[in-house]
Amino acid sequence: MGARSLHSLLSWRLPTLQGTGYPSAGRMILWRGAPACISLQIMITHLSALKLKVLSMKARVENIVERGKVGEEYIASEQEQEAFNKWTAGSFTRQDHPTVIQVLLDSDKDKDMITGHVMPNLIYVSREKSRTSPHHFKAGALNVLLRVSAIMTNAPIILTQDCDMYSNDAQTPLRALCYLLDPKFQSNLGYLQFPQRFNGINRTDIYACAFMRLFRINPSGMDGLLGPNYVGTGCFFKRRVFFGAPSSLVPPEIPELSPGHTVDDKSIQSRLTLTMAHHVANCNYENHTMWGSKIGFRYGSLVEDFYTGYRLKCEGWRSMFLYPDRAAFYGDSPINLLDVLNQTKRWAIGLLEVAFSRYCPLTFGARSMGLLMGLSYAHYAFWPIYSIPITIYAFLPQLALLNGITIFPMVSEQWFPLYVFLFLGSYGQDFLDFSSAGGTLESWWNEQRMWMIRGPSCYLFGLVEYLLKSIGISAQGFNVTSKVLDDEQSKRYEQGIFEFGVSSPMFVPLTAAAIINLVSFLGGLVRVCTGSSRWEGAFVQMFIAGFVTLNCWPIYEAMVLRSDKGRMPTKTTLISTFLASALYIASFLALRRN
C-alpha cells in the first residue's frame, strides 16, 4: 500500500474509532467508566503517533523518489548502510537490481518495548531482477519467498497475503492451526482458505468487487468435495504441499529447501545463512530445476493462484474453507470501472491459459480429481467464453428488431413458456444463491449488471488477446491493479456513481451496445404502436433490449447527463456511435440482399 493510500486510510479511521472500526469502544466507555476512557485515549494517542509517522514516511519517500537515491540523512544504522550500498546508480532499477535481504526484527534479540515479549522474526526480501531472465510475476516472487524462508526458518505453516490485505482477527492463526494440526486431516489437507472480504466497498457494491460467487458461494459448494480453490490471499499452507503429492515427496535440488529439513540453531543474521538466502533468491537459481513445474507455486498462467490450487488438487491434496462471522482479513478493492475491467481481463487471459493447456480441467482435471471437481474448475477456466453469447445477445436481437425481423417464438407459440421458464429460473436461482450468502437485492442487481458489462468488454478483450498471444501476435504484461484512493473518485464511488473518466477500448463495445439497445427498444415501440410489427413477435426482442437498456443507465448518464471528471470521454462516445451506426448499416445491407 502506498503512503498516500495509508494516509487516507488513517485519516478515515481515526475520527471513526467508535464506529465500525472498533464496534465495542463506545460500549466500553458507558459500561466501565474511566478505565475504558483512559484505554481509549491511549489507543487514540498511539494512532495519532502512527499517523504522524506515516506522514513523515510519505514525505521521505517522495523526497527519495524525486532525488533518485537514499540520502545519508535517512540511514540510521550500519545494517541500513549495508543494504542501501547496493543502490548504485544505473544498477538498481525496478526491472534490474540485486537481491536485498534485510532482517528487521530478530527473535533472538528484539523484544516488545512495553510487554517485554520476544518479537517474531521480520525479514524484508527483494529478489534479484534482470531484464534477461523471466521473473514469472507473483508466482516467481512467492517461490523466492518460499526458498528464502526455508533457509532462514523453514516454518511448516505458510500464510500468503496480498499487500493490500490486513488482519482483522488475532485468533485467525489459531483457527487455522486447529485444522492443519488435526490428526484426522494430517495426511492430505494441504491448505486452508479464508474468503477475501473488502472493507472499502460502497453500500451496493456497484462494481461487484465482492465477487460473492468466487469468494463465498462456490467455495462453500466445493468444500463438500475436495475443498475450495486457492484465491491468492488469506490462505494458510503446509510447506509440504509444495513438494509433490501427499504420498510422494519431490525432493528439491538442495536439502536445505526440503520441508523436513531442520534449520540449525544459529542466528538468522549469520553470514552463512544470509549468503545461502541470497543464493536461492538469485534470478537464475531456478534454471534447470523443477521450481514452477513440480515444486512450489506453478508457472504457466497469469492467475497463478487458481493454477497452483488446481494443480495441488490434481496431485491429491485437499483444502478446507473457513468463513467465520468476524472477517479474518480485510482488503481494498478498485474504485473505478477501468481498473475493475483491467483486473478481470488479466484473470480472463490467465484462465484461458489453463483451459487450453494440457492440464485442461475437463480432461486432465476430471481424470485426476473426479468429474464434479473437474467441472467446478472448468466453470472458472472457461469464464471468458461467456463473452461470446453475451456479446451476441447484446447486438443480434436488437439489430434484427431494428430491421423488422423476429428471431424468437411469438407469445402465442408453444415454445414461448420455455423461454420464460429459462429466464426466470436462471435469474431466480441466481438471486436465491446470492441472498443466501448475505447479499441484498441492490447488490445482486449490480452483480448481474457487472456480469453483463464484463461480457463484451474485459472477457471479450481477454479472449481476443489470448488468441493473438497464442499465434504469436501479442504478448501480455502483468499490470498491478491500482487501488490508490483519489478524493473525487472516492466521493463518487461512495455515492454509487460509475467512474469512466479516461478513454479505453473496453468502453467502446459497451457504449455501442448501450446505444443500439436504446435505439432498438424505442424503434420497436414505434413499430408496435404504428402497426408495422406485431407485439407478439417483437415481445422477446423488445424485452431483451429493454432489459439491457435498464442495465445500461449508468452509461447513458455518463454520456449525456454528467459533467464531472468521471463522465464518459467524448472521444469514446463518438467512436461508439460510429461503431453502432456501422453495425446497423451492415445488418441492413446484409438483410436487404437476402
Q: Which residues are annotated as a binding site for Mn(2+)?
A: 138, 162
Type of residue numbered 453: I
Type of residue numbered 20: T
213 CB burial (10 A radius; 0-12, 13-18, 19+)? buried
Q: Is the separation of the CB atoms in 152 and 268 below 8 Å?
A: yes
How far is the C-alpha of 292 from the C-alpha of 242, rounded, in Å? 10
Task: Identify the H or E element spanning 237.
Answer: strand 235-238
Q: Is the separation of the CB atoms in 160 and 235 below 8 Å?
A: yes
Query: Mapping DSSP to helix (H, G, I), strand (E, B) and coil, where does residue 523 land?
Result: helix
How far is the C-alpha of 217 from the C-alpha of 278, rounded, in Å? 42
Type of residue numbered 505: P
Listed in sequence order, the DSSP H helices in 294-415 are 304-314, 337-355, 366-369, 371-381, 387-402
What is the 8-class DSSP label of residue 62?
H
Residues of each annotated binding site: 138, 162
Q: How many CB atoms lie within 10 A of CB 586?
A: 11
Buried b (16+ CB within 10 A) or exposed e, 341-377: bbbbbbbbbbbbbbbeeebbbeebbbebbeeebbebb
In the block, which residue shows the cell 442487481? 445
Q: Long-range contact list for 380-383, CB < 8 A, 24+ apart?
A: 380/229, 380/306, 380/351, 381/306, 381/351, 381/352, 381/354, 381/355, 382/351, 382/355, 383/347, 383/348, 383/351, 383/459
How far is the C-alpha of 246 from the C-alpha of 85, rounded, in Å? 44
How far is the C-alpha of 481 from the C-alpha of 467, rounded, in Å? 23
Torsion of CA 565, 571, 575, 578, to 10 degrees: 100
Locate the DSSP E strands across 132-256: 157-160, 166-167, 189-193, 235-238, 244-245, 248-249
What is the 8-class DSSP label of residue 440?
-
In the block, which residue shows the cell 463518438? 574
Q: Are strands 244-245 and 248-249 parallel, antiparallel or unpaired?
A: antiparallel
In the block, which residue shows the cell 426466470? 424
Residues 6+ away with beta carbon under 8 Å from 68: 89
Q: Is the separation of the CB atoms in 152 and 281 below 8 Å?
A: no
How far is the C-alpha of 495 from the C-alpha of 507, rounded, in Å? 21
Q: How far is CA 565 from the centre of its chain?
A: 26
Q: How many CB atoms lie within 10 A of CB 330?
A: 17
Q: Is the separation of the CB atoms in 411 and 539 below 8 Å?
A: yes
Q: What is the DSSP secondary-structure string of 503-553? A: --TTHHHHHHHHHHHHHHHHHHHHHHHHTSS-HHHHHHHHHHHHHHHHHTH
